[in-house]
Amino acid sequence: MDLSELERLLNRRSRVRIPSEGRPIAAVLIGLFGPPPDYKIVYTVRTSHVEHHKGEISFPGGGKDPEDATLVETALRESFEEVGIEPDDITVLGLMDDIVTRSKFVVTPVVARIQRDPYPFIPQAREVDKVLEVPLSHLRDPRNLAPHPDDPTGQRIKIQSYRFGEHMIWGATAHMTNRFLDLLKPLF
């Protein structure tokens, strides 16, 4: 997969933007790194100390601060704060469609290339328990798909989840991963 093709694909399409309508706004980084064609994606395992989604897998990212001029700035700032990715080490390829999470955040995924591999991630101890480097080939392998666990509120979820070792990528993170993999299909 050629990342310049991915960049063209992201920037040629009409992106779905969801108005916040009073909901909190956030951005996450879908950070690709490693040698082609089997790039890896950066995920984090959240600690038990965070306010929301304790112990869950997520992309680096978070809420938009007033000083963030754009959602790209939000994703870059949060990625630096959470796992130490220097903004100068990131090349933004484009933005994916917004989603609304069950916790009512409007989230914009920012797709980017992380220029170094291996990357010297520095997990912020209060928020990030561990950094996961998940190869695209692992996510694309049907043997690693799993039924989505029930939501803690008891609702059934229809989005596919992914196993990675002892970890389960599910919820909004799995939803964004699914959309990203769907976007990549013409490139493989």
CATH of the domain at 88: 3.90.79.10
- Report yes or no on 108 lying in a domain: yes
Domain limits for position 120: 3-142
- Report yes or no on 25 lying in a domain: yes
> Per-residue pLDDT tens for 28-71?
999 999 998 889 999 999 998 877 777 899 999 999 999 999 99
Q: Predicted confidence band at 103 (pLDDT cuts at 50, 70, 90)?
A: confident
Q: Could you tell me if 53 and 74 are in contact, meaning their C-beta atoms sit under 8 angstroms apart?
A: no
Number of domains in the chain: 1
CB atoms within 10 A of CB 169: 25
- Report yes or no on 185 lying in a domain: no
Q: Predicted confidence band at 155 (pLDDT cuts at 50, 70, 90)?
A: low
- Report yes or no on 188 lying in a domain: no
Provide mean pLDDT across the span 148-155: 59
- Report yes or no on 72 lying in a domain: yes
Q: Predicted confidence band at 150 (pLDDT cuts at 50, 70, 90)?
A: low
Q: Chain-wide mean pLDDT for the chain?
A: 92
> Per-residue pLDDT tens for 113-137?
999 999 999 999 999 999 999 999 9
pTM of the predicted model as reported, rounded to 2 decimal places: 0.93
Q: Which is it for strands 106-114 and 25-33: parallel, antiparallel or unpaired?
A: parallel
- Report yes or no on 147 lying in a domain: no
- Two tokens, residue 61: 């990212």
SS3 content of the chain, % helix, strand, coil (to 5): 25, 30, 45
- Report yes or no on 80 lying in a domain: yes
- Report yes or no on 88 lying in a domain: yes
Share of the chain above pLDDT 90, in %: 81
Exposure b/e, 92-113, CB count within 10 A at least 16 = b = bbbbbbbbebeeebbbbbbbbb
Q: Could you tell me if 10 and 95 are in contact, meaning their C-beta atoms sit under 8 angstroms apart?
A: yes
Q: What is the pLDDT of residue 37?
A: 84
Q: CA neighbours within 13 Å on the CB side: how many for 157?
A: 19
Q: In angstroms, rounded to a whole number, what is the distance separating the alpha carbons of residues 182 and 188?
A: 11
24 pLDDT higher than 60: yes
Radius of gyration of the chain (CA): 16
Cα torsion at 36, 107, 69, 52 (round to 10°)? -100
143 pLDDT higher than 90: yes
